[in-house]
Amino acid sequence: MDAPAPRTFDLIEHSNADHARTVLVDWMLGNGCSYACSYCPAALHDGSLRWQPAEAVLAFYDRLHRHYVHHRGRRVWLQFTGGEPTMHPRIIPLLEAATERGFSVSLISNASRTLRFWQRIAPHLDSVILTYHNEFAELDHFRAVGRLLAERMPVHINVTMRPDHFDRTLAEARALREAMPSASITLKPLRVDFDDVLFDYSPGQLAAMEAGLPATGPAQGAMPRGTMTAEAAGAPPQRVRANEFVIRGENRWQGYLCNAGLESLRVKGDGSITRAVCSVGGEIGRLGGEIALPAAPVTCTAGTCACVADILITKVRPAARR
């Protein structure tokens, strides 16, 4: 079976209008992690970046509130990553401070911390993205954490699909689907060195990931991102999931105007700040220093849009701009 031919779109926008007014801040607090997965670059788990000082984090909270909430009427949604962000020694007071400022908060986590910990922080979370790494994860513990959280908030689960462990991982993903009918689950294709080249999947494996494991129950609450609506001249609008763009090789928007910096920010582990994970437009400041927060779209210069967070940003082909 041949891979589907890539499509070219004139406009890619959020299917949900609330997502379009949400500034999703992808914030790497450091790179210490409880796992060291074979497919994960060392820079994402080796602890070489110290955890960011709480004082600098709190000061940037206030900048975000002034620029996006007070002046532009947008909603700020913090999405803390790592490494494993729950390992930050001040993670609980940082979550409490975000709640006090009216921010929404997500964590991208491997769920490895105790059930007691998750019970403690759940009141300060609006959603979670749990990544199931079957090289290290314990299925029963992961399932217990996911069920605890799914009763209170939206839960998205990324299941990393190594080609050589595919059937076993798919069976575990189905067990998670059965345990958490309301959770959304992505069978996540892996890229070599987290770049633009996919691992060597068979056509059948690609088809299985594209088909996914749709939720069978109602979700609790709202997520900061969802599907995108893609439009092309002479064709009806299509709802597209992020991993569909990747699997079909359609995540290539060089030259498009992108709302990175208006709908997104990236705080790197070293404290540098960019408009998006891809760093389009270069560094705009650093924690504890001067920061020029964006007020206009930026032209995409990347050959491939490789990160899910960046794919889920509004993009317009200049010739089709309305």
Query: Nearest Cα to 12, choosing from 168, 225, 211?
Result: 225
pLDDT of residue 48: 86
pLDDT, tens digit, for every residue of 120-155? 999 999 999 999 998 899 999 999 999 999 999 999
HSE of 296, CA atoms in CB hemisphere, 13 A: 3
Total domains in the fold of the chain: 1
pLDDT of residue 78: 98
pLDDT of residue 320: 63
The stretch 197-209 carries a mean pLDDT of 94
Dihedral over Cα of 152, 217, 140, 37: its sign: negative
For residues 294 and 153, what is the distance between their CA atoms, to the nearest angstrom? 31
Which domain range does residue 141 map to?
22-225+261-294
| Whether 310 contacts 281, CB under 8 Å | no
- Pairing relation of β-strands 11-14 and 104-109? unpaired
- Within 10 Å of residue 184's Cβ, how many Cβ atoms? 20
Q: Is residue 307 domain-resident?
A: no
Q: What is the dihedral of CA 198, 203, 209, 214, to 10 degrees?
A: 160
| Whether 226 contacts 14, CB under 8 Å | yes
Q: What tokens does 252 get?
A: 């290539």
Dihedral over Cα of 32, 34, 36, 37: its sign: negative
Output the domain CATH number for residue 92: 3.20.20
Share of the chain above pLDDT 70, in %: 98
Average pLDDT, rounded, for the chain: 93
Which has the higher per-residue pLDDT, 308 or 64?
64
For residues 154 and 146, what is the distance between their CA atoms, to the nearest angstrom? 10
Q: Is residue 55 domain-resident?
A: yes
Q: Is residue 306 domain-resident?
A: no
The residue type of 256 is: Y
Q: Is residue 144 domain-resident?
A: yes
Is residue 24 very low, low, confident or very high in pLDDT (cuts 50, 70, 90)? very high
With 60 as the cut, is the pLDDT of residue 321 above it? no
Q: Is residue 234 domain-resident?
A: no
Is residue 111 very low, low, confident or very high in pLDDT (cuts 50, 70, 90)? very high
pLDDT of residue 2: 60
Q: Is residue 77 domain-resident?
A: yes
With 70 as the cut, is the pLDDT of residue 227 above it? yes
Q: Is residue 247 domain-resident?
A: no
pLDDT, tens digit, for every residue of 234-288? 899 999 999 899 888 999 999 999 999 999 999 999 999 999 999 999 999 999 9
Q: What tokens does 303 get?
A: 């050959």
This prediction's pTM = 0.84
Q: Is residue 194 domain-resident?
A: yes
